[in-house]
Amino acid sequence: MQKLSYILLIVAGGLLLTGCQGYNRMVEKQEAVTSQWGNVQNAYQRRADLIPNLVNTVKGYAEHEQETFTQVTEARAKATQTNINPENLTAESLQEYQQAQNQLSQALGRLLLIQENYPELKANQNFLALQDELAGTENRIAVERNKFNQIAQDYNAYIRKFPQVIYAKWFKFEAKTYFEATSEAQSAPEVAF
């Protein structure tokens, strides 16, 4: 009988140790998701910080493009006001965040198209430098979003595996949502000559 008690004690200790290790690993992976979310937000913030300089440079050449300037300013304000708590990263909140960022991207695209009507603007070194910085920032955003999806996928897969799935439910570790391509990106643009 005493032998059975020792065996049960060893098994219980092993289960407790496994549970503690699994819980700690889930915490590490959740923190990695949170940290990477911060990197995504930093990349978007860098873009938002470049916009006022870009708008001011364009304004110097294209004063009667006020509607476009207003659209960019409003889209930037909305994008910077839309924040998500990474602990509560739901599909709805991420979709709202993405929508605000996409509206800003569209407004920026309209702002950059203005250069076609102003040859002096095309040649402005400040404008060209800002345009290059913006392109680099867009690449950083894509890289950070991709890293976020990879880390979130790793976390999501981990909390769904046995025995973590049990602990994840007990301690309310929930799956994280991924960035997805926008509906506009799903169809190829038409090119006509």
Residue 187 lies in a domain: no
Q: Between residues 121 and 158, which one has the greater pLDDT?
A: 158
Q: What is the pLDDT of residue 151?
A: 94
Residue 185 lies in a domain: no
Q: Between residues 119 and 40, which one has the greater pLDDT?
A: 40
Q: Which residues, at least 6 apart from 42, have a Cβ–Cβ distance to it below 8 Å?
A: 144
Q: Which residues, at least 6 apart from 126, have a Cβ–Cβ distance to it below 8 Å?
A: 53, 57
Residue 74 lies in a domain: yes
Q: What is the pLDDT of residue 184?
A: 52
Residue 20 lies in a domain: yes
Residue 43 lies in a domain: yes
Model confidence at 16: pLDDT above 80: no
CATH number at residue 95: 1.20.1440.20
Tokens of 190: 């038409």
Confidence of residue 183 (pLDDT cuts 50, 70, 90): low
Confidence of residue 192 (pLDDT cuts 50, 70, 90): very low
Residue 188 lies in a domain: no
Task: Give the domain extent around 84.
Answer: 2-180
Model confidence at 186: pLDDT above 50: no
45 alpha carbon, distance to own chain's centre: 11
Query: Which among 138, 37, 49 has a CA at the least distance from the CA of 93?
Result: 37
C-alpha–C-alpha distance, residues 6 and 11, integer Å? 9
DSSP states along 123-148: H-HHHHHHHHHHHHHHHHHHHHHHHH
- Burial level of 191, CB count in 10 A (0-12/13-18/19+)? exposed
pLDDT in tens, 142-181: 999 999 999 999 999 999 988 888 888 888 888 898 888 6
* Average pLDDT of span 129-142: 90
Query: Which among 152, 158, 141 has a CA at the least distance from the CA of 178?
Result: 152
Number of domains in the chain: 1
pLDDT in tens, 63-115: 777 888 888 889 999 888 888 887 777 888 888 888 999 999 998 888 888 88
Residue 101 lies in a domain: yes
Average pLDDT, the chain: 83
* Average pLDDT of span 3-30: 78
Residue 189 lies in a domain: no
The alpha carbons of the chain give a radius of gyration, in whole angstroms, of: 24
C-alpha–C-alpha distance, residues 120 and 75, integer Å? 26
